[in-house]
Amino acid sequence: MVGRRTISRFAAAVATRISPGLEGLVLRPRKSLRSSEIGPLGAAMADVLILIPARMAATRLPGKPLADLAGAPMIVHVLRRAQEAEIGPVVVATDSRAIAAAVTHGGGRAVLTRDDHVSGLDRIFEALGEIDPERRAKIIVNVQGDLPTLAPAAITAALKPLTDDAVDIATLAAEITVPAEREDPNVVKVVGTPVAPRRLRALYFTRASAPAGEGTLYHHIGLYAFRRAALERFVKLPPSPLERREKLEQLRALEAGMRIDVAIVDAVPLGVDTPEDLEKARAMLTERS
């Protein structure tokens, strides 16, 4: 864990380079925007920027962003899922030139960041300052780089809670249907109170089986949509006591009084953390192709 973060940490000069084509990234509405091209926030989709953090040094599966899945690197599959959501520009934030090159070769955009970031949110915050210094993007969607089977509709669903001005951060969850997952500490559960159909206000996130008693448990999906101001506030906060205890970064926001709402989706995408997960993802994507 790291100590207190300050905004000056990210304002310091860094040796950041943008992949070819990113210089032309413009966050503004397209001409003749049709009603079908207006996102669920009621604003032009160019108000939304999707950032995908990716690094080579994963503990359990080093180099996984470049692992081949059905003929393309995993990071390119995630890029494509994000592009298919059609809610705004998509950029990969990485400390690896190899990952940046793979993204560019796959038709995407990447920005190189420092290699000492503790979390993906720190990485995307640095990238955000580089690619959007004029602050055109109002909503920042953080899509994890190890979700190659993520449904584009799930990314779109994460924006819906932000129609409520009281919500700072939006995320996703799905009902737990496998009994063993109810007790599995690797399955993060969100405890929330319903505020609308298929939407909860998050009260807590935990690795324990919660809440107690009979009823539905929800599997949290680590995809977040931040209001820009909320992201800026979050990265300046120190790790919180419950965050340290549960090893769940989102608890920092709750402990600071920020509101997180949760959109309920139909399924949990496969997260690739182990060689076994990688083989499952290969089988799933090969079957689709």
Q: What's the domain count of the chain? A: 2
Q: How many residues comprise the chain?
A: 289
56 with 128, same domain: the answer is yes
Confidence label for 289 from pLDDT (cuts 50, 70 and 90): low
Residue 11 lies in a domain: no
CATH code, 172:
3.90.550.10
Interval 184-229: pLDDT, tens:
999 999 999 999 999 999 999 999 999 999 999 999 999 999 999 9
On the question of pLDDT at 30 being above 50, the answer is no
Structural domain containing residue 110: 44-147
Residue 6 lies in a domain: no
Domain end point (choices 113, 147, 181): 147
State whether the Cα torsion 37-196-229-191 is positive or negative. negative
67 with 100, same domain: the answer is yes
188 with 80, same domain: the answer is no
- Return the ∠ at Cα 155 (arms to 265 and 99), rounded to 5°: 130
